[in-house]
Amino acid sequence: MVHSLFLKKPGRVEGLVSIVYIALLFQSVMQAMARYRAKIIGVLPKIRYAKRNLEDPTYDLLTYLLAPFEVLSSKNSRVVNCMVPEMMDHLTMLLYLVDAEAC
């Protein structure tokens, strides 16, 4: 059905399926890494923005928690802004969970 509606060539259908597969693989790896690191930390804080503890974080919860942040960068500096000020306290922990603390 996708072939007849949106994509004219079979190679494009295969390309679309490959992109979706890679995206799902990325999501599952990110979730598994966050759950592993959450177990290492032990007791995770309750984040009021999410209205729950971070026990067994899912990909959807992590993207929801990281959504208010924006990174503005130039050649020599990087600034992180947050639309929800109380979330700034949790930024370091969230970046650790998704293995992005060097960013």
Provide the mean pLDDT of the chain: 83
Mean per-residue pLDDT for 95-100?
Answer: 84
The pTM of the full predicted model, rounded to 2 decimals, is 0.72
Range ranked top by mean pLDDT from 1-5, 24-28, 75-79, 96-100: 24-28
pLDDT of 90 above 70: yes
- Cα 45 off chain centre by: 18
Tens-digit pLDDT profile for residues 44-66? 777 777 677 777 888 988 888 88
- DSSP-derived 3-state class of residue 9: coil
